């Protein structure tokens, strides 16, 4: 049959020569390529012992920030979940009780806050949608797990550790917030 692309190649099954039958030239050719690569600069790194330098605005694992007094900033308004195109965020809101002022900054807080890292596409729209500067993506890479359920990150993994605060100043660019993009996403989701 006539080929449409004209790129077909007719394979001829010819007898193998003596040198082809003993495979020695092919083995030597393979060794030559292996030895050549031994002296080339390595393209791989010994992760996780060695880590590549990544951009300060890299969009990796999320953090739920605390304020300067250590109280959780999130007020469970749900805007991040609405903005999320992958529907990766879920939460349950609760009312702050008396005496919990140091734990939660506002009267309403997220009792449960979960992000499914398998659904997340690390677009950063949740960060842009948050009016409380509570959620940020960081330069941390989501580690591998063996079970799917372990990729659903709850507050235990998301809320900032008071003893190792995460600097997000490079991500705080208020004049870059694209409200038009967020409202377009919300509009599309509500009309579907």
Residues lying near ligand SF4 in the complex (CB under 6 A) are found at 74-80, 83-84, 86, 88-89, 91, 110, 115, 120-126, 129-130, 132, 134-135
59 phi and psi angles, rounded to 5 deg: -100, 90
Minimum separation from the CB atom of position 49 to ligand SF4 (A): 28
Report the residue number, 66 or 80, with the smaller CB distance to ligand SF4: 80
Q: How many degrees, rounded to 5, is the angle at CA 170 between CA 172 and CA 151?
A: 85
Minimum separation from the CB atom of position 73 to ligand SF4 (A): 7
149 with 50: CB under 8 angstroms? Answer: no
Tell me which DSSP letter residue 58 carries: -
Cα gap 181→110, rounded to integer Å = 25
Cα gap 134→112, rounded to integer Å = 15
Report the residue number, 124 or 177, with the smaller CB distance to ligand SF4: 124
Cα gap 75→104, rounded to integer Å = 8
Minimum separation from the CB atom of position 110 to ligand SF4 (A): 6
No. of H helices and E strands in the chain?
6, 5
Minimum separation from the CB atom of position 130 to ligand SF4 (A): 3
Report the residue number, 19 or 172, with the smaller CB distance to ligand SF4: 172
Report the residue number, 12 or 82, with the smaller CB distance to ligand SF4: 82
Minimum separation from the CB atom of position 83 to ligand SF4 (A): 6
Q: Which residues pair with 120 in a beta bridge?
A: none
Residues in the chain: 192
Report the residue number, 10 or 104, with the smaller CB distance to ligand SF4: 104
């Amino acid at each position: 049959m006539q080929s449409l692309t004209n790129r077909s190649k007719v394979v001829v099954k010819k007898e193998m020569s003596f040198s082809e039958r003993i495979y020695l030239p092919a083995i030597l050719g393979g060794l030559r390529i292996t030895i050549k690569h031994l002296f080339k600069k390595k393209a791989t790194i010994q992760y996780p012992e060695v880590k590549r330098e990544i951009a300060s605005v890299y969009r990796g694992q999320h953090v739920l920030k605390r304020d300067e007094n250590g109280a959780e900033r999130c007020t469970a308004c749900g805007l991040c979940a609405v903005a999320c195109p992958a529907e990766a965020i879920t939460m349950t809101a609760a009312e702050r009780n008396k005496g919990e002022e140091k734990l939660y900054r506002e009267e309403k807080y997220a009792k449960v806050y979960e992000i499914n890292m398998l659904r997340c596409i690390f677009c950063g729209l949740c960060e842009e949608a948050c009016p409380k500067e509570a959620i940020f993506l960081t330069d941390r890479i989501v580690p591998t797990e063996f079970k799917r359920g372990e990729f659903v990150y709850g507050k235990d993994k998301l809320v900032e550790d008071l003893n190792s605060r995460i600097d997000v100043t490079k991500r705080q660019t208020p004049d870059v917030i694209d409200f038009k993009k967020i409202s377009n996403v919300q509009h599309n989701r509500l009309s579907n």
